[in-house]
A and B are shown apart, each in its own frame.
Chain A
């Protein structure tokens, strides 16, 4: 992302908190190791690797091996964090994730770096908009898409203590910490970001702060829109979905394919349990090259873009 526009003040790259949190966790628990595919730099693990060289397992550019080694390390009593660009981790090694981790039930933490369209200009090979749809059918894997640095740290800390496979996205796109008082991270529980009654936006990851800004715009127009941060895509917070359905309209927003990810999960649940209109905002298929800002705008992933979709959807309720 060499050409990305400068970030507004207070916006943070979640990889920094990922790296510092992993170091703290490794200090606290000698079982923690990291497995990478020549991705020490892109995972911001230089300091970790210097400090814990024997606990930094770099298998080279070999993602199938990387995930298999993760399962083997878990067999040997370690708590491996397997960290690689989300596109290669989930795409190249999908069968290893299925058989070696999910089906074998190994305690492996899969950390998808720079997910979504974070590698904007590099194109669709490097975009990871499919990862959630690929992993979601494997019900053994908890899937967390943190909204900001704070939530990234909390999710990592929880994952280190949870005995089971987890997939966590770590965003490189700078995002602000959400302004929510007394936050507590609980896997499987969503956060209420804005209260509202006429529609609900269910977002996660880098889009939550945009959804909140959209709701603020709409509030000025007299439209009351709830915003929910659904960081855990699996297991999903059914109580929050029920409450969202009662507002009569749901829009899902995510930096992912609209097929099979958060939008898919919400559409599945509501269709079966509480039919309600659901509109999905995200990426519908491969995207062209372009900066992250450009690709977000194209997909309507901006405060105004989301607000416009809500206005339109209210008319279709």
Chain B
């Protein structure tokens, strides 16, 4: 196999592992946000196993690429991804949301290597990532900053404050990925407070915009792995909430729904 096909195979295998592991964590704890975990796992797997430069043994290395998880509730995706990337052993995942665990319901950088910001309240990740990118711009550094936001999360105005400044400053090493699953906690984003036309909004703020199938690892690898240009980059990843498990897909109730034994067994049969 070529290097690229090796990479795509690794991303695919790890994404599957992340889905199975994350759903097991949610099932065991009967807590979590599996719908958003599953819509974002392919993006995280592509970043961690195909795009980003980092050293798990030196997680705060100055020139590392950064990943900021703005949708901090999708810890099933984040924790399994960082684990697979080598930041901590698999046994730690067993403690998910347990008393005193380092694996909070939302991530804490002081507990876990690889976490860049303590997110949870929405609309925080992009401003922080903007600050990281400004630091890199001041230093003329080559590292890149990636931030994943939910789509419903874009209803938070702080994102657009950041979009304006990042576009204004030509933060070329900043990439936002929008997990465009079109569902927020209660109902569809377009029924709640319309986001479309989303690409045009980002373009108007001075960003280069790309739309991809957020579950296609090759497409994700192409767009996320491309060298920085002159502007910040927005990747609208069209995704399916609950992707990979038939009864969860496109169901808002799986935002923070948890499986019973039968559902868990069925999901494990499908996630192969």
| A-side contacts of B157, CB under 8 Å | 64
Enumerate B134-160 residues with CB–CB distance to A below 8 Å: 134-136, 138-139, 141, 157-158
Q: Are B135 and A73 in contact (CB under 8 A)?
A: yes
- B109 contacts across to A, CB distance below 8 A: 104-105
Contact B132 A73 (CB under 8 A): yes
What's the minimum C-beta distance from A210 to chain B, rounded to whole angstroms? 39
Q: Are A71 and B134 in contact (CB under 8 A)?
A: no
* Contact of A292 with B by CB under 8 A: no
In the A-B complex, the 9 residue pairs with the closest CB atoms? A72-B131, A76-B135, A68-B127, A69-B131, A62-B161, A65-B161, A64-B158, A72-B132, A104-B118
Interface string of B87-120 (1 = CB under 8 A from A): 0000000000000000000001110000011111
Complex formed: what's the CA distance from A70 to B66 in Å? 16
Residues of A close to B132: CB separation below 8 A: 72-73, 75-76
Q: In which size bucket is the chain A interface?
A: 20 to 34
A63 — nearest CB in chain B belongs to which residue?
A: B161
Q: Is the CB of B139 within 8 A of A76?
A: yes
Q: How far is the CB of B121 from chain A (nearest CB, A)?
A: 6
Indicate which residue in B119, B123, B131, B165 contacts A70 across the interface (CB closer than 8 Å). Answer: B131
Q: In the bound complex, what is the Cα–Cα distance between A59 and B136 (angstroms)? A: 16
Instruction: Indicate whether B47 reaches chain A with its CB closer than 8 angstroms.
Output: no
In contact, A96 and B117 (Cβ under 8 angstroms): no
Q: Which residues of B contact A95 (CB under 8 A)?
A: 121, 124
- Over the window 25-49 of chain B, the binary record of Cβ atoms lying under 8 Å from chain A Cβ atoms (1 yes, 0 no) is 0000000000000000000000000
Residues on A with C-beta less than 8 A from B136 are 76
Q: Is there an interface contact between B117 and A100, defined as CB atoms closer than 8 Å? A: yes
Central interface residue in A33, A72, A96, by most chain B CB within 10 Å: A72
Complex interface: chain B residues within 8 A of A103 (CB): 108, 118
Q: A229 to B17, alpha carbons, bound, how many Å?
A: 60
Known: A77-B135, A104-B109. A96 touches B124 (CB 8 A): yes
| B-contact 0/1 string along A83-105, CB 8 Å cutoff | 00000000000011001100111
Give residues 22-80 of B contacting A (CB, 8 Å).
Answer: 62, 66
Expressed in whole angstroms, the minimum distance between the Cβ of B187 and any Cβ of chain A is: 25
- B238 located at the interface, meaning its Cβ lies under 8 Å from any Cβ of chain A in the complex: no
A109 at the interface (CB under 8 A from B): no
With A71-B131, A72-B129, A76-B131 as contacts: A99 and B165 at CB distance below 8 Å: no
Say yes or no: is A285 at the interface (Cβ < 8 Å to chain B).
no
Given contacts A62-B165, A65-B127, A72-B128, contact A78 B138 (CB under 8 A): yes
- Name the residue in B124, B129, B131 with the highest tally of chain A Cβ atoms < 10 Å from its Cβ: B131
**Distance of B48 from chain A, by nearest CB (Å):** 18
In-complex Cβ contact of A69 among B62, B66, B127 (8 A): B127
Ordered by A's residue number, 30 sampled pairs between the chains whose C-beta atoms are within 8 Å are: A33-B138, A57-B134, A59-B165, A60-B164, A60-B165, A64-B123, A65-B130, A65-B165, A68-B124, A68-B131, A68-B158, A68-B162, A69-B130, A70-B131, A71-B127, A72-B130, A72-B135, A73-B132, A75-B66, A75-B116, A75-B117, A75-B135, A76-B131, A99-B119, A99-B120, A99-B124, A100-B127, A103-B108, A103-B118, A104-B109
Contacts of A33 in B (CB 8 A): 138
Which residue from chain A places its CB closest to the CB of B119 in the assembled complex?
A99
A78 and B133 alpha carbons, distance in the complex (Å): 12
Instruction: Give bound CA distance, A88 to B141, whole Å.
Output: 32
Given pairs A73-B134, A76-B134, A100-B127, 11 additional interface contacts (CB within 8 A): A33-B138, A60-B164, A62-B161, A64-B158, A65-B158, A68-B128, A69-B165, A71-B117, A71-B127, A72-B135, A100-B124
